[in-house]
Amino acid sequence: MQRRGFALLPLVLAVLAVAEVAVFLTVVHALGGGWALLLLAAFSITGMVLLRREGIRGWRAFQAAAVEGRPPGPQVSNSLAGLGGALLLAVPGFITAVAGLFLLLPPGRILARRGIERFAESRVDPAVAGDLFGPRRVKVRRGEPVTVVEPVTVVVPEQTPARTPGGAIEGEVIEGEVLR
C-alpha cells in the first residue's frame, strides 16, 4: 500500500502544478499580475521566516520535555505540523499557501498533530507509543461478557465484582487510562 502511494506521487505533483498554474492565472485575472506576484512573494518569504522559527521552537520544546522527563511525542508532532505548514507556505503557489496557513493555525495544527500521532502509533509498538506520547486514553464500552481463562478479580470502588460460571466478569464498566 505504501509503495503505491509513492508510485502516485509524480502524478499528484503534476496535478498540483497544473492546479497551481490555474489558480495563479485566476488571481492574476482578478487582482492583476503585479499584485499576484507580490502576494505570492509575501507568502513565500513568510514561509521561509516561519520555517526557522518553527524549527527553533520545536527543538526547544523537545529539549524542555526531555529535561522535565515528559514524553516528547506531543512536542515533536506539533513541531512537525508547524514545519509542514511553514514549508507549504514557502513553496510558491496559492494552493500550497492556503494549505500551509491551515496547518499553522490552531484548528489545522491540532488535526495534523493528531494525524501524525495516529500514524506514528500505528507504526510502532504500543509500549513505545506510550513512551513517546504519554498515557493513551481508551474508551471502554459495555459489551458481551468475556470468558477469562485465568481467574481475574476486578475491583470497582464501592462494588463487589460479580462472577458468572465460566469466568466471565459482569458489572459496571468504568472509563480509565492505560498507563503501561
Confidence tier at 121 by pLDDT (50, 70, 90): confident
Among 35, 10, 123, 33, which Cα is nearest to 77's?
A: 123
Q: By percentage, how much of the chain surpasses pLDDT 90?
A: 41
Region 34-58 average pLDDT: 93
Of 1-15, 20-34, 78-92, the least confident? 1-15
pLDDT tens per residue across span 60-77: 888 888 888 888 888 888
Q: Given this model, what pLDDT does residue 112 score?
A: 92
Beta bridge partners of 178: 136
Residue 69 confidence (pLDDT): 82
Q: Who has greater pLDDT, 114 or 178?
A: 114
- At residue 178, the pLDDT reads 58
pLDDT-wise least confident of 91-95, 117-121, 164-168: 164-168
Lowest mean pLDDT, pick from 40-44, 84-88, 164-168:
164-168
Q: Any idea what the Cα angle at residue 7 is, between residues 6 and 10, rounded to 5°?
A: 90
Position 136 confidence tier, pLDDT thresholds 50, 70, 90: low
Look at residue 158 in the predicted model and tell me its pLDDT.
57
